């Protein structure tokens, strides 16, 4: 152990010196890896004439009606690439509803039934053996004419590893080739589609689509688990078995650079537990601006492969390990970016972190769990960090200037410390005056703590005047911010920025979504809490202006075929996650709204408990739905099916007339709905105003693509009628009186 510590001293002081000779296996691995990208021109392989050959791969059926199949790029006696020319067909049925809708949002079709004349296959399964069972093969060199065809189809382009991909396709193919079997890797490109079956990803089936002609990276339209697990129900989609889970992370980070923000050297010890039956090849990730020097497994150097500027790092263990085993990995690295300084795995389950920081003297750092700063040599300082809460990804703040601390006590007795950098002065362009800055922050904190109670585990708050990440007890709000009050005053002014940042104390980085499929709530909940603050700060106009801006942006995205179901996770743009998620919460609010007493009490109870549900415990989309049902008082599967697992927005065309009957006056209306399915339904708030200016609010269910409603009786003739009052439904409405 002493020798290992001495080695780390060498790493920190002099940079990593490679002392490990490559193993014979790793030499073969690199050679095999390179061969996967070998050019196909004049490549010799085997050829078969096939007819009515059907190949089933999970939910996909490929029929090669008539044509020629080349087998190329052989490794260990078997091909890794196949090319088909002729007549073929691909049929793919997407079982999960949410992923079927995701496919529809991208391709404008919910199933795939495509004829093709060319396709390219990369494989580590039994496809070649199935062909050889039925057809004879002979040695053949790929013709120039056929080579040109496959180049024009750009199939190789979509498989080649590029930094925009989360995984390295060559590594994923190769690890499966070394374990070659029926359940192995299979990738096929046909027309504008890719179909991938990767047994070593948490969700094995991926259907991608060339959204625009000549896209360099295809869009992942549908992603789900294989038929063996058959997790197809929308409410169960978060039941994902991740290959590994991080148990703990311990890091020593030496900071440097002109602003103290460079990672001169880093060592991170990450303990993992294995969740699958067996594992030799690990998928790990590290920010692409951080350069790996070496990785150790059980204090010995281990083989790993990482392409330049890739987040993905494939680690090759010396031997197989099995379900329930723990793995101790040590990463040595350096770089210029610490957006997230530590390696991680696919499973977002948070884990306890601990750090030792070695930093230049005179540089200030802020993070939860900081210990006492001590001198470490002539020009260095050292401090320990042991955060109270577990994290998936831990961020920290750092800057080189000095600062003053201005404490202000909140309404609930928590001290809010405003950090005032010496170089931030009124003479700077875009400077936010102290009075506006501090009063807006305190107003936000007092409003939110009044409705949401104390932030999780926070007894003191520091307000950091630079852009970076909010953490428990730390709020980042820029005091140098170029914005014009005139253009933003109708939307809330500076409260937009202070409100959103402060809201992260309740809906921020200690939220524990079970998978990426819950990531929408991290964007939406903090934004909506900020909007509630904006509404509380004025007459409500800014709140609804924000809401309508978000609505219009969503309709624009839908018109440009850029909409996706929220529950598809990180495939959804941040704009959709924030805007549609905010509207989902707004609609829940006014479904829970007490029209008679004009009370938001139920919703605020729900929203407070949503914070309790999503912080410091793992939650799923189904948990959010059940919590909403508790306060709504009825099942809400129909609501979440539409707004979480589906896409599209209604356009209501409403005509109404006022008639007098024996009991009094009635409003009879007809509603035609476009842009949604025939099963769509929503309760719509309507307001009827009488001649005295008094209003009656009613809530009416509008179902399907055509529906009628009848309101009344009213003792006097209504003066005004408002359909979709309070914008209770995310919709565009055209209302006319007969």
Paired sense of beta strands 695-703 and 651-661, if any: unpaired
pLDDT in tens, 644-670: 999 999 999 999 999 999 999 999 999
Instruction: Answer yes or no: is pLDDT of 6 > 60.
Output: no
Residue 539 binned pLDDT confidence (cut-offs 50, 70, 90): confident
Residue 398's pLDDT is what? Answer: 72
297 with 261: CB under 8 angstroms?
no
Count CB-CB contacts under 10 A for residue 290. 21
524 with 585: CB under 8 angstroms?
yes
CA angle, residues 387, 390, 393, in degrees to nearest 5: 95
Q: How far apart are CA 269 and CA 17, in angstroms?
A: 19
Q: Residues 211-231: what's their mean pLDDT?
A: 92
This prediction has a pTM of 0.94
Q: How far apart are CA 132 and CA 49, in angstroms?
A: 11
Residue 21's pLDDT is what? Answer: 66
Paired sense of beta strands 303-305 and 312-322, if any: antiparallel
Q: Residues 242-251: what's their mean pLDDT?
A: 98
Count CB-CB contacts under 10 A for residue 81. 26
Residue 410 binned pLDDT confidence (cut-offs 50, 70, 90): very high
Residue 319's pLDDT is what? Answer: 96
Query: Positive or negative CA dihedral for 294, 297, 301, 303?
Result: negative
Residue 444's pLDDT is what? Answer: 98
Residue 400's pLDDT is what? Answer: 64
User: What does R_g of the chain's alpha carbons equal in angstroms?
Assistant: 30
In a 13 Å sphere around the CA of 524, the CA atoms on its Cβ side amount to 28
Q: How far apart are CA 238 and CA 221, in angstroms?
A: 17
Paired sense of beta strands 681-689 and 732-737, if any: unpaired
Maximum distance among all Cα pairs of the chain, rounded to whole angstroms: 97
Question: Token pair of 363, please?
Answer: 């540089």
Q: How far is CA 423 from the centre of its chain?
A: 36
471 with 509: CB under 8 angstroms?
yes
Q: How far apart are CA 314 and CA 280, in angstroms?
A: 10
Query: Positive or negative CA dihedral for 553, 557, 562, 566?
Result: positive
Which of 589, 249, 271 has the alpha carbon at shortest distance from 391? 249
Q: How far apart are CA 250 and CA 330, in angstroms?
A: 9
Count CB-CB contacts under 10 A for residue 224. 25
Q: Which residues pair with 119 in a beta bridge?
A: 84, 190
Q: Is the preceding omega at residue 713 within 30 degrees of 0, hence cis?
A: yes
Q: Which residues pair with 270 in a beta bridge?
A: 249, 329
Q: How far apart are CA 722 and CA 700, in angstroms?
A: 12
Q: How far apart are CA 486 and CA 492, in angstroms?
A: 10
Instruction: Answer yes or no: is pLDDT of 19 > 60.
Output: no
Q: In 323-464, which ranges are E strands? A: 326-335, 352-360, 364-366, 374-375, 380-385, 397-399, 403-409, 415-421, 460-464
Higher pLDDT, 676 or 18: 676
Q: Which residues contact 24 (CB under 8 A, 6 or more apart)?
A: none
Q: Which residue has the tokens 């996967």?
A: 36
Mean pLDDT across the chain: 93
Instruction: Answer yes or no: is pLDDT of 40 > 90.
Output: yes
Which of 54, 82, 57, 56 has the alpha carbon at shortest distance from 68? 82
pLDDT in tens, 575-617: 999 999 999 999 999 999 999 999 999 999 999 999 999 998 9
Which of 256, 255, 314 has the alpha carbon at shortest distance from 281? 314
Burial class for 422, CB neighbours closer than 10 Å (0-12, 13-18, 19+)? exposed
Question: Token pair of 122, please?
Answer: 């990369």
Q: Which residues contact 3 (CB under 8 A, 6 or more apart)?
A: none
pLDDT in tens, 564-576: 999 999 999 999 9
Q: Which residue has the tokens 């219009």?
A: 552
Residue 482's pLDDT is what? Answer: 86
Strand, coil or helix: 288: coil
Q: In 257-337, which ranges are E strands? A: 262-274, 278-285, 290-297, 300-301, 303-305, 312-322, 326-335
pLDDT in tens, 88-147: 999 999 999 999 999 999 999 999 999 999 999 999 999 999 999 999 999 999 989 999
Which of 549, 545, 551, 548 has the alpha carbon at shortest distance from 563? 551
Residue 201's pLDDT is what? Answer: 98
Residue 1 binned pLDDT confidence (cut-offs 50, 70, 90): very low
Q: Residues 538-555: what's their mean pLDDT?
A: 94
Instruction: Answer yes or no: is pLDDT of 325 > 60.
Output: yes
Residue 422's pLDDT is what? Answer: 83
Q: In 457-563, which ranges are E strands? A: 460-464, 474-476, 512-513
* Residue ranges of domains in the chain, CATH in brackets: 2-14+241-399 (2.60.40.1730), 39-232 (no CATH), 420-643 (1.10.390.10), 651-737 (2.60.40.1840)
Count CB-CB contacts under 10 A for residue 23. 14
Q: Which residue has the tokens 């991909």?
A: 165
High-pLDDT (> 70) share of the chain, %: 96
């Amino acid at each position: 152990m002493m020798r290992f510590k001495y080695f780390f001293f060498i790493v920190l002081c002099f940079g990593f010196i490679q002392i490990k000779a490559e193993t014979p296996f790793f030499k073969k691995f690199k050679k095999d890896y390179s061969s996967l990208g070998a050019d196909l021109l004049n490549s010799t392989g085997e050829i078969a004439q096939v007819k009515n050959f059907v190949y089933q791969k999970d939910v996909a059926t490929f029929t090669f009606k008539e044509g020629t199949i080349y087998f190329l790029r052989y490794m260990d006696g078997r091909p890794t690439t196949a090319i088909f020319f002729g007549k073929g067909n691909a049929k793919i049925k997407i079982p999960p509803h949410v992923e079927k809708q995701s496919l529809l949002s991208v391709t404008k079709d919910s199933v795939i039934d495509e004829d093709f004349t060319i396709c390219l296959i990369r494989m580590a399964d039994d496809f070649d053996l199935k062909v050889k069972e039925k057809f004879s093969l002979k040695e053949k060199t790929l013709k120039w004419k056929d080579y040109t065809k496959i180049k024009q189809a750009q199939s190789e382009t979509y498989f080649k590893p590029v930094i925009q991909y989360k995984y390295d396709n060559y590594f994923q193919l190769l690890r499966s080739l070394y374990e070659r079997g029926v359940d192995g890797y299979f990738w096929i490109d046909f027309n504008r589609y890719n179909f991938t079956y990767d047994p070593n990803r948490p969700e094995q089936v991926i259907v991608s689509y060339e959204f625009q002609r000549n896209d360099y990276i295809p869009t992942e339209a549908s992603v789900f688990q294989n038929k063996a697990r058959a997790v197809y129900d929308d409410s169960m989609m978060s039941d994902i078995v991740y290959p590994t889970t991080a148990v703990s992370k311990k890091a020593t980070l030496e900071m440097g650079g002109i602003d103290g923000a460079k990672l001169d050297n880093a060592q991170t010890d990450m303990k993992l537990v294995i969740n699958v039956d067996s594992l030799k090849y690990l998928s790990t990730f590290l920010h692409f601006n951080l350069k790996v020097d070496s990785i150790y497994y059980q204090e010995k150097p281990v083989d790993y492969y990482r392409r330049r500027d890739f987040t993905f790092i494939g680690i090759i263990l010396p031997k197989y390990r099995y379900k329930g085993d723990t793995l101790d990995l040590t990463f040595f690295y350096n770089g210029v970016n610490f957006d997230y300084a530590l390696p991680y795995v696919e499973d977002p389950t948070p884990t306890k972190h601990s750090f030792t920081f070695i930093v230049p003297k005179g540089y200030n750092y802020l993070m939860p769990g900081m210990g006492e700063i001590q001198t470490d040599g002539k020009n260095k300082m050292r401090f320990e960090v042991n955060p109270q809460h577990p994290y998936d990804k831990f961020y920290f703040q750092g800057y080189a200037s000095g600062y003053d601390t201005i404490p202000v006590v909140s309404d609930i007795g928590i001290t809010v410390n405003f950090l005032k950098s010496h170089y931030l002065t009124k003479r700077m362009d875009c400077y936010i005056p102290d009075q506006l800055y501090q009063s807006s922050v305190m107003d936000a904190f007092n409003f939110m703590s009044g409705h949401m109670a104390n932030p999780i585990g926070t007894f003191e708050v520091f307000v950091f005047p630079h852009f970076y990440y909010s953490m428990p007890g730390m709020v980042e709000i820029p005091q140098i911010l170029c914005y014009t009050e005139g253009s933003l005053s109708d939307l809330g002014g500076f409260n937009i920025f202070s409100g959103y940042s402060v809201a992260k104390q309740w809906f921020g980085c200690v939220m524990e979504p079970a998978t990426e499929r819950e990531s929408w709530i991290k964007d939406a909940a903090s934004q909506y809490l900020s909007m509630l603050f904006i509404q509380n700060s004025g007459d409500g106009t800014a709140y609804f202006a924000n809401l309508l801006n978000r609505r219009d942006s969503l309709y624009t995205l839908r018109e440009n075929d850029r909409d996706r179901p929220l529950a598809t996770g990180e495939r959804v743009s941040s704009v959709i996650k924030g805007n549609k998620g905010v509207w989902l919460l707004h609609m829940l609010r006014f479904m829970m709204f007490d029209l008679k007493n004009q009370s938001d009490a139920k919703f605020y109870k729900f929203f407070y408990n949503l914070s309790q549900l999503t912080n410091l415990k793992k939650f799923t989309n189904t948990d959010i739905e059940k919590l909403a049902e508790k306060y709504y008082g009825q099942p809400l599967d129909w609501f979440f099916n539409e707004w979480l697992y589906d896409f599209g927005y209604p356009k209501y065309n409403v005509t109404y007339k006022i008639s007098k009957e024996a009991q009094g006056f009635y409003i009879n209306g007809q509603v035609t709905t476009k842009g949604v399915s025939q099963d769509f339904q929503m309760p719509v708030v309507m307001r009827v105003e009488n001649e005295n200016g008094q209003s009656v609010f009613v809530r009416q269910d509008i179902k399907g693509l055509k529906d009628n409603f009848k309101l009344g009786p009213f003792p006097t003739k209504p003066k005004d009628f408002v359909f979709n009052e309070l914008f209770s439904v995310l919709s565009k409405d055209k209302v006319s009186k007969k």
